[in-house]
Amino acid sequence: MTRLATLCGVLVLASSTVPVAQRLTDADIAEAISRGKAGDLKPLISDCVATASVGSFFSAGLTGDGRTGSYDVVVSTHIGRIAVMAADAARRYEDFDISDVEDDMRDPGLFVSVDPTRPQSVSNLPSLIDHVVLKSKAKSADVVQPITIAQFPVEFGNLFGATFDANRAVARFDYAAVTSMPDDDFDVVVITADGERRCKVGTKDQRRLFSS
C-alpha cells in the first residue's frame, strides 16, 4: 500500500484548516505565516540529524582526511516551509507577509533543508553538499529525486582565525511522488563530496506532516 492511500483517511481527520494537498489560498498562507510567527512549528516539521556511516568514520580515521561532520535536517510540506520562513523573519525582526511568498509555494510540495552542524573541531568538519534525495526503507527502495535544489555558501571560523567553507541546501520534492512512496520510513540522503549522510523520517512523523 502506498502512503497516499494511507493518508487519505488521515487527512479527513486533520485538525488544521489548511488543505495540505491543495493549492494554498491567501487565507491558508496567512494562517501558515501566523503559526510561524507564533513559533508553532513543531506540528509542521520533522527534524533529524544526518550523520556519516561507521565505515566513513573508520576510513577517515585511517587516512587522516575526509570530512565527517553532521547536518541538521528539517522536513516540511509547503505549509511548514512558509511557517519556517516566517519564523526566521520574525527572529531577525524583519517583515514577512503574503507578498513574500512566491507563487509556486502555493502548490503542494515537500521541502528538505540541510544545514551543516557547527563543527566542534577540525576533526568533524562538514563536507560539501552535492545532492539530496529521499530513499524508502521498504524493500522496493524507491528513490525520489528533487524538483529543485538550491545551495548556499556557509563559512565556519575558529578561535585561531582559521575559516572553513561549507554549504547548506534546500531541496523541493514533488508532493505526489513523495506520497506515492511505500508506506514505510524513508531516509533523507545527503550526498556529499565525502560520501552519504543519512537520517530517518518515520511514518508517524510523515502522517503528522501530511495532515497538519
Query: What is the average pLDDT across 68-88?
Result: 96
Q: What is the predicted pLDDT for the residue at 212? A: 64
- Residue for grid cell 566513513: 56
Query: What is the average pLDDT across 159-188?
Result: 90
Which band of pLDDT confidence, cut at 50, 70 and 90, is reported for residue 57?
low
Contact (Cβ atoms closer than 8 angstroms) between residue 172 and residue 182: no
Structure pTM? 0.85
Q: What is the pLDDT of residues 4-47, one digit of tens each?
A: 544 444 433 334 455 577 899 999 999 999 999 999 999 999 99
Query: What is the average pLDDT across 154-159?
Result: 79
Q: Is the pLDDT of residue 65 over 70?
A: no
* β-bridge partners, 165: 155
Sheet containing strand 143-144, edge to edge, reads: 143-144, 129-136, 186-192, 195-201, 45-52, 71-77, 109-116, 163-174, 148-157
Contact (Cβ atoms closer than 8 angstroms) between residue 198 and residue 189: yes
Instruction: Give the C-alpha separation, 52 to 74, whole Å.
Output: 17
Of 199, 203, 209, 205, nearest in space to 71 by CA? 199
